[in-house]
Chains A and B, each alone.
Chain A
Amino acid sequence: MKRIGVFVCWCGSNIAGTVDVEKVAEHFRTYPGVVHAESYQYLCSEPGQKIILNRIKEHGLKGVVIAACSPTMHESTFRNTVQQIGFNPFQLEIANIREQVSWVTEDKDSATSKAITSISQIVEKLKGNEALDPIQVPVTKKALVIGGGIAGIEAALNIAKAGYKVYLVEKEATIGGHMAQLSETFPTLDCSQCILTPKMVEVARHPNVELYTLSKVTKIEGFIGNFKVTVHKEPDYVKRADCTACGDCAEVCPVEVPSEFNQTLKYRKAIYIPSPQAVPTIYHIDPETCLGINPIKCNKCAEACERKAIDFDQQPEDILIEVGAIVVATGYDLYDKELMAEYGYGRYQDVIDGLQFERILSASGPTEGKVLRPSDGTVPKRVVFVQCCGSRDPEHHKAYCSKICCMYTAKHALLYKHKVHDGKATVFYMDIRANGKRYEEFVQNAIEHEHISYLRGRVSKIYQENDHLVVMGADTLSGKRVEIEADLVVLAMAMVPGKGTMELAKLLKVGYDENGFLNEAHPKLRPVESLTGGVFIAGAVQAPKDIPETVAQASGAASKVLEMFGQDYLWKEPTIVDVDGSLCSMCGNCVLVCPYGARSLNKEKHIVEVNAVLCESCGACAAACPTGAAQQRNLTDKQIVDMIEVALEIK
């Protein structure tokens, strides 16, 4: 029988306060198969780890059970330790007697007996464990960055500058994302485009970066270090090399549609460039609104183009790329103001959202930076800003705080006052959340110096009356209901994941939360990794965040990619699910339930093939297998039965 050592951790008083650790150790001293048992204050400490190593040598241990905290905490710590002396790490198992016992049990006797049961189960499991070797995976040292906003640009630049190839995929015709639409940025009031455009140009020109605009990721195969990705690129219908962005084509284009870049506050043509700073700096045809590409209906643009750059024959392409790592940086959208019933369902022209106001404030925007309201182009003398629109409303909209609205609303009010000196700015807020470097100072400065009226309360209704709007709100600080007349109302709409995030998450097999934001691997310690190996996340696709935080996270994601690219091989847990060919009936259940595509039926050879690299050891196939052919390494059916039997005291 395997010679097993049991080590019971006190975890200070975390465990020892509730579990009689010495009694537990005593119990295992006479347990079948256990040749050594002891308790110690902190096994994870340096001396604690030494004790384990010494005992392995002294007693010739072939198996080790650490009874301590959750394996997610320290399993790798202990396994790495024992590996130093040539002990196979997969002969070490953790019994969780903290989260599952001491923290959730009050009575000391029952906690102690529950700890004994838990450890017994792990001892029984360990008896069936085999020595395993980690699986080796090669790495393709190229990265894919999905999303060309500030997060994607930053991550792509970081990786490219470190010397690795990056494919940057953007669904729009230009990179830059929402940041390119902003006027000035809090709390420093830097011009957003001024700080962003150099980066846009740099990333597009970088020799290691291959940029695909009007493109989407449509297929992802493979696994960490070895992804095969299909990028679907829509045509520009303009030859990139020949277009000088002179604009003669747009001049003659007869089609006018609301400009997406200007948040519908201005018109664009069917052949257009989203903004003068767009990268790549070329015009392209929007086939949805063009009068006809195939067959050509109008052709005015082609006639006007001196360089003959218009090419109606361009076709969509599917480009296959191979990468080792993927950074998802697809960003956010604003929650649709048309969903705000009591604020008029978006039907009042002068009730706009935050991004629309950014465009109005922007020097390159529809009003060239003059504050003019959409309905009649007059200067609004009374502007009401409403925070938390769609945010912090679990009953009708989104339960979460969108984090950036307090700051950008203060910025909006301030910029408005800078431009319209005799204007009156009123802000409805619930709490001011200004927790960033110089954020609080920024808000207070706006209130003090610009005399912005901050009213603490939510708005119940907005309605039109003659040529102005009326905002029905409250000021809970004075205990008053207020009705404020406004010429323009700016709604600080909630941030939601960008359109298509969920479809992309499914392609990538990355988890997302109830709001559609992508899940990080660990909320504190692994904030830029997803749970799918080789897929990293950056920016507002993970949760609402501002520019500095987005940039920091993008750099973090890039450094994780670089950490991977610093190695020639990756190592992966070997506890995969094998198939015993003699028991397999080729029913295909395991193939069907596998969420990772790791299993396939080979009818010719009459076997189920398992891709060890793709298998994430979830065990779904083992549970689905009707014959017991699918067995997870070190968690076989027999091991599970042994664990159950000892728990039920029938063994």
Chain B
Amino acid sequence: MPENTKKELNIKPEEILEIIKDISGQDVYVCYQCGKCTAGCPMSENMDIMPNQIIRLLQIGAFDELLKHNTIWLCASCLTCTSRCPKGVDLARIMEAVRLLLLRQNVAYLNASDIPEEDREELPIQALVGAMRKYSP
């Protein structure tokens, strides 16, 4: 988590779930914490907390705790979790909603200028455009 995301969020804690529901269309209370999302997540190796725990922290209202972890930024939106969730929870959308909640507060996770020149040359354009859409306001 870069330093700049730690600044105070201008959102009341009780509004967070509502906003997430508006953005994602997902109700976190549908999740019964089976962990199947975590079990199949290809990016979980270096996540500080597991994907199911993201929902868990939302369920118990611990949004600040959630922000301490890198999980949402390691999510590759591959939809493996979404496609297998037994409760039909689209976790990829919840991940996106949490990212957007921050990005819309003008908190950038990554700026274009952070990407080294040589990578910019080498990376396929779809990676650059995609990353900017996921990581910057």
A386 to B45 CA separation, bound complex (whole angstroms): 23
CA distance A393 to B85 in the complex (A): 8
Choice from B34, B37, B50 contacting A479 with Cβ under 8 Å? B50
B50–A395 touching, CB < 8 Å: no
Q: Which residues of B contact A460 (CB under 8 A)?
A: 36-41, 80, 84
| A57 neighbours in B (Cβ, 8 Å) | none
Contact A461 B86 (CB under 8 A): no
**Cβ–Cβ < 8 Å partners of B74 in chain A:** none
In the complex, A396 Cα to B85 Cα: how many Å?
9
- Which residues of the partner chain B approach A380 to less than 8 Å between Cβ atoms? none
Chain B residues positioned under 8 Å from A476 (CB to CB): 33-35, 38, 50, 52-53
On whether A480 and B50 interact (CB within 8 A), knowing A457-B39, A458-B39, the answer reads: yes
Contact status B88-A474, CB under 8 Å: no
Instruction: Tell yes or no: A392 within 8 A of B by CB.
Output: yes
Which A residues lie within 8 Å of B36 (CB)? 457-460, 474
The one of A342, A395, A457 that contacts B35, using a Cβ cutoff of 8 Å: A457
- Knowing A476-B35, A476-B52 are in contact, say whether A394-B86 is a contact too (CB < 8 A): yes
Residue contact B38 to A457, C-beta cutoff 8 Å:
yes
Q: Which residues of B22-41 are within 8 A (CB) of A?
A: 32-41
Q: CA separation between A473 and B40, bound complex, in Å?
A: 7
Asked if A430 CB lies within 8 Å of chain B CBs, one says: yes
Check B68 for interface membership: any CB of A closer than 8 A.
Answer: no
Do B88 and A481 touch across chains, with their CB atoms under 8 A apart?
Answer: no
* Complex contact B34–A457 (CB within 8 A): yes
Pick the contact of B50 from A393, A397, A481 — CB < 8 Å? A481
Which residues of chain A from 366 to 398 have a CB within 8 Å of any chain B CB?
388, 392-397
Residues of B within 8 A of A482 (CB): 39
- Asked whether, in the complex, the Cβ of A461 is within 8 Å of the Cβ of B50, the reply is no
User: In the complex the two chains form, is B41's CB within 8 Å of A481's CB?
Assistant: yes
Is there contact, CB below 8 Å, between A458 and B50? no
Q: When the two chains form the complex, which single residue of B32, B50, B85, B87 contacts A474, counting CB atoms closer than 8 Å?
A: B50
- Neighbouring A residues of B37 by C-beta, 8 Å: 460
A79 interface hit (Cβ, 8 Å): no
A424 at the A/B interface (Cβ < 8 Å)?
A: no
For residue B32, which residues in chain A have a CB less than 8 angstroms away from its CB? Answer: 392, 430
* Residue contact A430 to B34, C-beta cutoff 8 Å: yes
B49 near A: Cβ within 8 Å? yes
Q: Tell which of B35, B38, B52, B88 touches A394, judged by Cβ atoms closer than 8 Å.
A: B88
Tell yes or no: B136 within 8 A of A by CB: no
Cα-based distance from A475 to B44 in the complex (angstroms): 13
B:52-99 near A, CB below 8 Å: 52-53, 80, 84-88
Residues of chain A within 8 A (CB-CB) of B80 are 460
Q: Across the interface, do A473 and B53 meet the contact criterion of CB distance under 8 Å?
A: no
Closest residue of chain B to A456, judged by CB? B35
Contacts of A393 in B (CB 8 A): 86-87
Please tell me if the beta carbons of A481 and B33 are within 8 angstroms of each other in the complex.
no
Q: Total contacts A to B, CB within 8 angstroms?
A: 73
Q: Are A461 and B52 in contact (CB under 8 A)?
A: no
- Which residues of chain A are within 8 angstroms of B85 by Cβ–Cβ distance? 395
Question: Which B residues are CB-close (under 8 A) to A480?
Answer: 50
A640 close to B (CB within 8 Å): no
In the complex, are the beta carbons of B39 and A472 less than 8 A apart?
Answer: yes
* A-contacting residues, B117-132, CB 8 Å: none
Within 8 A of B (CB), among A470-505: 472-476, 479-482
Given contacts A460-B39, A476-B52, contact A394 B87 (CB under 8 A): yes
The residue of chain A having its C-beta at the shortest distance from the C-beta of B81 within the complex is A460
Cα separation A456 to B49 with both chains bound (whole Å): 16
Docked CA distance A388–B52 (Å): 18
Query: A136 to nearest B CB, angstroms?
Result: 53
How far apart sit A456 and B34, CA to CA, in the bound complex (Å)?
Answer: 8
Q: Which residue of A lies closest to B50 (CB)?
A: A479
Give chain B nearest CB distance to A228 CB in angstroms: 46
Q: When chains A and B are docked, how far (Å) is the Cα of A456 from the Cα of B32?
A: 12
Q: Is the CB of A396 within 8 A of B39?
A: no
- Given contact pairs A474-B39, A481-B50, A458 touches B34 in the complex (Cβ within 8 A): yes
Give the interface centre of B39, B84, B88 by most chain A CB atoms within 10 Å: B39
Which residue on B lies nearest to A398, using beta carbons? B86
Q: Which residues of B contact A481 (CB under 8 A)?
A: 38-39, 41, 44-45, 50
A395 contacts across to B, CB distance below 8 A: 85-88
Distance of A472 Cα from B84 Cα, bound (Å): 13
Residues of A within 8 A of B86 (CB): 392-397, 458
- CB neighbours (8 Å) of A397 from chain B are 86
CB distance from A475 to the nearest CB of B (A): 7
Known: A479-B50, A481-B41, A481-B44. A474 touches B84 (CB 8 A): no
From A430, which residue of chain B is reached at the shortest CB distance? Answer: B34
Chain A residues with Cβ below 8 Å from B38 are 457, 460, 474, 476, 481
CA distance A332 to B73 in the complex (A): 46
Measured CA separation A214–B35 after assembly (Å): 45
Instruction: Tell me whether B88 and A475 are in contact (CB under 8 A).
Output: no
A475 proximity list for chain B (CB < 8 A): 35
Q: Please, how many angstroms separate the alpha-carbon atoms of A461 and B38 in the complex?
A: 11
- When chains A and B are docked, how far (Å) is the Cα of A397 from the Cα of B35? 17
Give A316 Cβ to nearest chain B Cβ, in Å: 44
- Within 251-304 of A, Cβ neighbours of B (below 8 Å) are at none
B98 to chain A, nearest CB (A): 18
Taking CB atoms, residues of chain B closer than 8 Å to A342 are 40, 84
For B32, B35, B40, the residue with the greatest tally of chain A CB atoms inside 10 Å of its CB is B35
Name the residue of chain B whose CB is nearest to the CB of A479: B50
Minimum distance in angstroms from B21 CB to a CB of chain A? 19
| Bound form: Cα–Cα A456–B53 in Å | 13
- Nearest B residue to A473 via CB reads B39
Given A394-B86, A479-B50, A481-B50, is A461 in contact with B34 using a C-beta cutoff of 8 Å? no
Nearest Cβ on chain B to A634's Cβ, whole angstroms: 47
What separation, in Å, do the CA atoms of A479 and B48 have in the docked complex?
9
User: What is the bound-complex CA distance between A396 and B86, given in angstroms?
Assistant: 6
From A394, A430, A460, A472, residue with most partner B Cβ within 10 Å? A460
B35 touches A461 (CB 8 A): no
Identify 12 residue pairs between A and B in the complex whose beta-carbon atoms are under 8 Å apart, listed by A's number: A342-B84, A393-B86, A394-B88, A395-B87, A458-B36, A460-B38, A461-B39, A473-B35, A474-B39, A479-B49, A479-B50, A481-B41
Query: Hey, which bits of chain A sit against chain B, CB under 8 A?
Result: 342, 388, 392-397, 430, 456-461, 472-476, 479-482
In the complex, given contacts A458-B35, A459-B39, A476-B53, what are 7 additional A-B residue pairs having Cβ atoms less than 8 angstroms apart? A342-B40, A394-B86, A394-B88, A395-B87, A473-B35, A473-B39, A476-B38
7 shortest interchain CB distances as A-B pairs: A460-B40, A457-B35, A474-B35, A460-B39, A393-B86, A458-B36, A395-B88
